[in-house]
Amino acid sequence: MKVYRFEKSIEKRFETIRCGKLWASSPSMFNDLYDCRIKIINDEVNFKIEAIKESFDFLYSNSDSSYVSHIARAALKEVLRIDERKNVGSTLRNLFSFLDLIEDLIVNNNSVVCFFSSLITNPLMWAHYGDNHTGFCVEYEVVENSNDLFKVNYTTELPAFSLEELIFCPNQIVRRVLTTKQFEWAYENEFRLIEPLKSGKGKIIDMPEFLIPKKVILGAKFQRGDHEKIPYWHANNMAKSLNVTLSKMVYHNHNFYEEEIVVRN
């Protein structure tokens, strides 16, 4: 399977990929307002509070400081608050601060590398992710049976969970939240690589062994000109270091197509 990773034509990105690494971005930087948003299922649930508390104590020790345990603790706290008020419906209508807390825990503790399998000749992909056609793209071959590259699920609804699910299976929920997008984005055919994040807008990670670079493709508005122009010099050196072919997108006579470029020694 082939997937594509779009990049801006800045020196740091060229050097990162040339050295066999990738930039994993915080979901807070994503362009979809609905990305990593969730809903709580508003069911009239008769919580068995003592059973939930006992199970929680069994699953999570007091020393567990992982962010998924914080998600579970926040959900348990909400369950106890609901039980105290004895009115699930009215309480769940005021859960915005709780949802914000869960979403922030997911967003602030994960980073994502986005890949796409849609056609490289789709101009929307270059406009959205290729810095308005001035950036570049790397084509990767994905080794069969990779369990670490997750296909994005496209839906018309936000992911919805019960409080019990947040308590007892937060890891599965985190993965589902990070791999769900609105149906309008389905043309992208996106895949995501998920990595833990301690802080900041993202981090540099090692290139996974299941991703094999095959080609570097420059955008239609990429600065080429003569070979001494800085962006082209970096692209040429990166392609040479990765031992891959180099090509460029061309818009000519109302056609949008890919044209190979000779890599200079």
| Spatial distance between the Cα atoms of 16 and 244, rounded to a whole number of angstroms | 16
Query: Helix, strand or coil for residue 125?
Result: helix
Looking at the predicted structure, is the pLDDT value of residue 83 above 70? no
Please tell me the predicted confidence (pLDDT) of residue 75.
84
Please tell me the predicted confidence (pLDDT) of residue 226.
46
CB atoms within 10 A of CB 43: 12
How many structural domains comprise the chain?
Answer: 1
Looking at the predicted structure, is the pLDDT value of residue 5 above 60? yes
Please tell me the predicted confidence (pLDDT) of residue 45.
54
Section 66-87 average pLDDT: 77
Output the six-digit token pair for 200: 């900041």
CB atoms within 10 A of CB 230: 11
Query: Helix, strand or coil for residue 127?
Result: helix
Q: Residue 54 belongs to what domain range?
A: 2-261
| Spatial distance between the Cα atoms of 113 and 118, rounded to a whole number of angstroms | 16
Rounded to whole angstroms, what are the CA distances from 41 to 14, 79, 158, 175, 240?
A: 45, 13, 11, 18, 52
Amino acid at the residue 62: N
Mean pLDDT estimate for the chain:
86
Q: What pTM value is reported for the model?
A: 0.86
Taking only the tens place, the pLDDT of each residue in 133-148 is: 999 999 999 987 678 8
| Spatial distance between the Cα atoms of 157 and 251, rounded to a whole number of angstroms | 37
**With bands split at pLDDT 50, 70 and 90, how would you rate the model's confidence at 42?**
low
Please tell me the predicted confidence (pLDDT) of residue 255.
93
- From 83, 86, 60, select the one nearest 73 (Cα to Cα): 60
Please tell me the predicted confidence (pLDDT) of residue 68.
85
Section 11-31 average pLDDT: 92
